[in-house]
Structure 1
Amino acid sequence: MIEVQNTLVHEDVVNENFVCNLNKCKGICCIEGDSGAPLERDELAVLDEIYPLVKPYMTDKGIAVIEEFGTWVKDFEGDYTTPCVDTNKECAYVIMENGITKCAIEKAWEDGKIAWKKPISCHLYPIRITNYPEFDVLHYDRWSICSAACAFGKELKVSVYEFLKEPLIRKYGAEWYAELEAKVSK
């Protein structure tokens, strides 16, 4: 583990390669899984607030789920997540563009309708964070559906943390990222 401020970063975040390759995987990570995208407590109010602006981008199925269950839910483990369509499969915020899964929230952000890009867990994927009272642990979540991203990252020689520079800075700040880079280059 690499200690950076109030976090521990698993070596795989530094040593493994990863670059999303949506042309290969088609964004299946937003459709598969055992629950929706993990949410931080402060993101719940954001989802409630932005929903009216995101709703025009959403599918009828996604809107129906949110109208029934809300903009966020508690999953089977008691964690906050995005709601899912079809019993814990497709995220309610999923949209399709040219056969590729996209996010209605991110689309609204790209169009300047909202100032929030998407849940940080989505932005940081394949990094997952385990929160402890005194620190966070960042680890690389290996999933077979991301094999094309691993191969593409290896081809381009881009590590997980390099690929996720923007969301890591969004979550922990530029100073934190600079410290990680300094520790990695030693």
Structure 2
Amino acid sequence: MFQLGKTIVSEEIIEQDFVCNLSACKGACCIDGEAGAPVEDKETEILVDIYKDVKPFLRPEGIAVIEEHGAFVKGEDGEWETPLVNGSECAYVFFSDNGTAKCGIEEAYNAGEVAWKKPVSCHLYPVRVKEYTELVAVNYHKWEICDPACSLGESLKVPIYKFVKEALIRKFGEAWYLELEEVAKEHAKP
């Protein structure tokens, strides 16, 4: 672990390689698990505001859950998260013709319908952020469904922090990311 400003960062972020391999995992991170994607307080309002523009990109099952429970829900841990269909699939997921889970919010963003890409927790994945009173923990979330992403990242020699560069800048700012790059360079020296 090392500290950058008010963040404590796991060395795995700079040591481990990772590149999403959707052809192998089919977007399993959006449909497996017991909880929705973490949503920050400020993102709850955004989800409500963009819902009407995102709705055409969603499945009927997702729409039904969102309209019954809301654009976001309080999880068992007391934190905000996206609602789930059937207790596992994110309500904002749709499936491509080949069965790959995709984000309806991101699809609406790519189509120019909304100006917000998706919850920052999704954009950061496999990085997970936990905010504490004084510090923010930045960790690598290892999940076996992402083993193909680890293999692809290793073959392409892309460390996690480079794979999620845009998301890290979105979350922490460009100056923070430049500091992270410097730490990674120093860490890589023999």
Q: TM-score, normalised by structure 1?
A: 0.98
Deviation at 1:134, TM superposition (A): 1.6
Corresponding residue of 2:91? 92
The alpha carbon displacement at 1:41 in A equals 0.5
Alpha-carbon distance in 2 for matches of 1:115, 1:175: 23
Q: Which residue of structure 2 aligns with residue 9 of structure 1?
A: 9
Q: What is the CA deviation profile of residues 108-162 of structure 1, one whole-angstrom value per residue up to 9, with x for unaligned ones?
A: 0001111100000000000001111222110000000000000000000111111
Partner Cα separation in structure 1 for residue 104 and residue 176 of structure 2: 30
Point out where structure 2 has 5 or more consecutive residues left out of the alignment.
none
Please state if 1:177 is matched with 2:177.
yes
| Secondary structure of 2:129's aligned partner | strand
State the distance in 1 between where 2:174 and 2:21 align. Answer: 26
Matched, 1:53 2:50: no
Aligned to 2:38: 38
In the alignment, which residue of structure 2 is the partner of 1:22? 22
Residue 90 of structure 1 and its aligned partner are, at CA, apart by 0.2
Question: Once the two structures are superposed, what CA deviation does each residue of 1:49-86 show, in whole Å capped at 9, x if it has no partner?
Answer: 00000001100000000010000001111111000000
1:102 equivalenced with 2:97 (yes/no): no
Q: Following the alignment from structure 1 to structure 2, what is the Cα–Cα distance between the partners of residues 131 and 146?
A: 24
Size of the aligned set, in residue pairs, is 185
Q: Which residue of structure 1 lines up, in the alignment, with residue 158 of structure 2?
A: 158
Deviation at 1:35, TM superposition (A): 0.5
Deviations 1:18-50 (A, max 9, x none): 000000000010000111000100000000000
Task: Among all aligned residue pairs of Structure 1 and Structure 2, give the percentage whose two residues are the same amino acid.
Answer: 49
Q: TM-score, normalised by structure 2?
A: 0.96
Indicate whether 1:138 and 2:172 are aligned.
no
Aligned-partner SS, 2:128 = strand
Q: Which amino acid aligns with 1:178?
A: L
RMSD: 0.7
Query: Which residue pairs with 1:116 in the alignment?
Result: 116
